[in-house]
């Protein structure tokens, strides 16, 4: 997940959270043109796909936004671990098969 959190240029004291992804997931207009160079440098090939606006009196909203991003990141990390275990198991199976082939089927 690719996210930029930035001060809102329209409402003083507010915060925006812009999420980036593939253009195939949909695209929104740039909420702040000043973010474009940073986003293009940090997330090449990604486009803005979602915007959340946290009002100035919404510190709880900002915390909620960070909590949601943190939870999604934790889910992605868990999925990555599962995939890594699956790849490792696949490689172990390949290694066993290769050893059997070199020993004439005796493993």
pLDDT at residue 101, rounded to an integer: 81
Which DSSP letter does residue 21 get?
E
The domain tally of the chain equals 1
- 24 phi and psi angles, rounded to 5 deg: -65, -25
| 49 and 27 Cβ atoms separated by less than 8 Å | yes
- 15 phi and psi angles, rounded to 5 deg: -130, 145
Which residue range forms the structural domain that includes residue 62? 2-102
pLDDT at residue 107, rounded to an integer: 45
**Residue ranges, the chain, pLDDT below 50:** 107
Whether 73 is in a domain gets the answer: yes
Cβ-proximal residues to 18 (8 Å cutoff; 6+ apart), any chain: 3, 4, 5, 6, 31, 32, 35, 39, 48, 50, 51
Whether 6 is in a domain gets the answer: yes
Whether 107 is in a domain gets the answer: no
How many whole angstroms separate alpha carbon 28 and alpha carbon 21?
Answer: 11
Whether 35 is in a domain gets the answer: yes
pLDDT at residue 96, rounded to an integer: 76
């Amino acid at each position: 997940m690719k996210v930029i959190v930035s001060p809102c240029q329209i409402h003083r004291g507010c915060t925006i959270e812009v999420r980036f992804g593939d253009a195939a997931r949909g695209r929104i207009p740039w909420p702040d043109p000043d973010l474009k160079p940073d986003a293009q440098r940090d997330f090449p090939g990604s486009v803005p796909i979602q915007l959340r606006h946290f009002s100035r009196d919404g510190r709880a909203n900002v915390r909620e936004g960070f909590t949601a991003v943190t939870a999604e990141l934790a889910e992605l990390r868990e999925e990555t671990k599962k995939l890594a275990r699956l790849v490792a198991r696949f490689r172990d199976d390949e290694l066993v098969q290769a050893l059997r082939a070199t020993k004439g089927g005796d493993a």
